[in-house]
DNA sequence: GGGAATACTGTTCAATTGAACAGTACTTAT
DNA sequence: ATAAGTACTGTTCAATTGAACAGTATTCCC
């Protein structure tokens, strides 16, 4: 799709707004009146927009403008990004880096989910969270002690950042990230120590668990 | 909103289809041409539809039809009924008897869910299903042995029918409904015996589990 | 039996509309 | 330098369009 000039973007926006607010596209003269120029200027713009694939001028009929650029009449893209392990350097929790998008109402979770994380491994089985489950996460930088959080752990070796689910236990500056499975050892972090201390992993809270979605039945 | 005649519904549908497919409403003559009548008939119909609040005729302009009845451009109402324990006599699995409706895409579950059931009790904890979880159920009358099913159990005492989640194990005519928690005893049914035998509960398969939705985090 | 609503036909008319043709001025790539 | 694209003005014109007015047949309600 060819790039639009600022003026063309303005005009396309006006058409979109008209369709949304009035329910039908404007006539060439409507456009001209709104922008204060002659009908033929509007016609030129429509032709340019049609050539660039943003609209289709369906026929010689009145208001026969069909919006076709990405978001014509479609529903607003509602859903949640599925975040997880991603390539080195890039921030894991940025929606742009989503593996895929799920069509779920964020309000099905409490608190409301901002993204979804796929559980890998059985470290949380005793909390009823199985491998492969999708966990809804509400993005926040802190969490009450005892809650289940999505922790971002940064691996110095690979330079990769990844999300893990853990129970968050905090006592002063001492933080314990506990798995809900006796076979896994808890990770301990002392926030008072320098972040550059290599003996402990660097971590941050990505958010708190707001719920869970599982597809299929276990075993 | 006044009721529409079949003909008016046809015409409203045609306008909706036009807006969806073409991107703009039809002219009165477009309508007339499509239905094979004169322009004025179309005009009469539009006036009737406007009077009944289904559309708005915005001005004297070409194609100035604005759809306003409930679902103008909105998404189709999609969701799943939440079924569970219900009043005596009524069939539990009928969507009309839903406790409430959840706005979930049925295809998030595999197999696709037809309704949702709220888990009450800890009988399935070992399968990662906790009390309060919502389980997506695909309606079917039979299920492979070993799968987790929604079983309809009929209580002769209260005359109530209720849904319970169980692991379904079948060996010939012998059926075992097993809880995924050692503290619960399995229920045994012999299909060869008469359904009127009061020594065993009457049951039927409501469907198989297609997945799970949990709001909030455990404990 | 009368009134209202539905479901049309048919004609006329003025306003609106898109299209075409002829220009102008400016910018941006080649 | 020059061709292409942008961003307009101005005029003319035929086609389309909604509106109005005058009818007709049928059904439904009171």
The answer to whether the Cβ–Cβ distance between A213 and B212 falls below 8 Å is yes
- Is pLDDT of B122 > 70? yes
Quote the pLDDT of residue B128.
94
Amino acid B74: pLDDT:
36
Percentage above 70 pLDDT, chain A: 79
pLDDT of residue A75: 37
Could you write out the DSSP letters of every residue in B96-161? GG-SEEE---GGGSSS--SEEEE--SSTTGGGT--TT-EEEEEE-S---TT-EEEEEEE-TTT--E
Strands (E), A21-147: 55-57, 65-67, 80-83, 100-102, 115-118, 134-139
- Of A164 and A92, the structure prediction assigns the larger pLDDT to A164
A50 beta carbon < 7 A from strand D? no
Residue B123 pLDDT greater than 80, yes or no: yes
More confident residue, B91 or B160: B160
> What is the pLDDT, as a whole number, of residue B124?
92
Provide mean pLDDT across the span B173-198: 81
Name which residue leads in pLDDT, B184 or B193: B184
Question: What residues contact residue A59 under an 8 Å CB cut-off, 6+ apart?
Answer: none
Domains identified in chain A and CATH numbers:
6-67 (1.10.10.10), 80-213 (2.10.109.10)
**Tens digit of each residue's pLDDT (9 = 90 or more) over A172-200:** 888 999 999 999 999 888 877 655 555 55
**Given B20, B68, B128, which is nearest A130 (Cβ)?**
B128
Nucleotide nearest to A63 (CA to C1'): C17
* Winning range, highest mean pLDDT, from B31-45, B64-78, B188-202: B31-45
Average pLDDT, chain B: 79
**Overall average pLDDT of the B166-195 stretch:** 86
CA B48 to chain centre: 34
Which pLDDT score is estimated for A209?
A: 95
Looking at residue B167, its pLDDT comes to: 95
pLDDT score of B161 more than 60? yes
Res B135 pLDDT > 80: yes
pLDDT in tens, B55-100: 877 767 778 788 766 543 333 345 788 886 544 444 556 665 566 7
pLDDT at position A185 is 92
pLDDT above 90 (res B178): yes
Reading the block at residue A195, the tokens are 């972040």
Contacts of A172-177 spanning 24+ positions with Cβ under 8 A: A177/A151, A177/A203
pLDDT > 70: what percent of chain B? 79
Give the per-residue pLDDT at B77.
Answer: 41
d(CA B57, CA B64): 6
| pLDDT of A145 strictly over 90 | yes
Residue to test with chain A: of B16, B23, B180, most A Cβ within 10 A:
B23
Checking if the pLDDT of A123 tops 70, the result is: yes
- Flag whether pLDDT at B119 surpasses 50: yes
Query: Is the CB of residue B23 less than 8 Å away from at least one CB of chain A?
Result: yes
pLDDT, tens digit (0-9, with 9 covering 90-100), for A52-65:
777 877 767 778 88
* CB-CB contact of A80 with A116 (8 Å): yes
Is B67 an interface residue toward A (CB < 8 Å)?
yes
CA atoms of A207 and A139, how far apart (whole Å): 4
Tokens of B109: 């579950």
Say which range, A196-205, B41-50, B57-66, has the weakest mean pLDDT. A196-205
Check whether residue A38 has its CB closer than 7 Å to nucleic acid strand D: yes
CB contact under 8 A, B215 and A216: no
Average pLDDT, chain A: 79
pLDDT of residue A76: 39
**Interface touch A23/B58, C-beta < 8 Å:** yes
How confident is the model over B170-195, as a mean pLDDT? 85
């Amino acid at each position: 799709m060819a790039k639009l000039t600022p003026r063309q973007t303005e005009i396309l926006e006006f058409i979109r707004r008209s369709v949304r607010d009035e329910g039908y596209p404007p006539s060439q003269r409507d456009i001209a009146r709104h922008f204060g120029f002659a009908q033929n200027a509007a016609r030129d713009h429509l032709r340019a927009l049609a050539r660039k694939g943003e609209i289709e001028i369906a026929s010689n009929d009145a208001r026969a403008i069909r919006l076709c650029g990405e978001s014509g009449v479609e529903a607003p893209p509602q859903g949640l990004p599925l975040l997880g392990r991603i390539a080195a350097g890039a921030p894991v929790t940025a929606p742009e880096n989503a593996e895929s998008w799920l069509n779920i109402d964020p309000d099905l979770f409490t608190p409301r989910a901002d993204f979804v994380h796929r559980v890998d491994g059985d470290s949380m089985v005793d909390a009823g969270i199985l491998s492969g489950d999708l966990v809804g996460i509400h993005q926040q930088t802190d969490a009450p002690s005892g809650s289940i959080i999505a922790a971002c752990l940064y691996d110095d070796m690979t330079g990769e950042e990844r999300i893990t689910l853990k129970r968050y236990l905090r006592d002063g500056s001492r933080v314990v990230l506990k798995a809900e499975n006796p076979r896994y050892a808890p990770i301990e972090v002392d926030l008072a120590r320098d972040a550059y201390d290599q003996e402990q992993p660097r971590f941050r809270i990505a958010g708190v668990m707001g719920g869970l979605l599982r597809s299929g039945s276990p075993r």
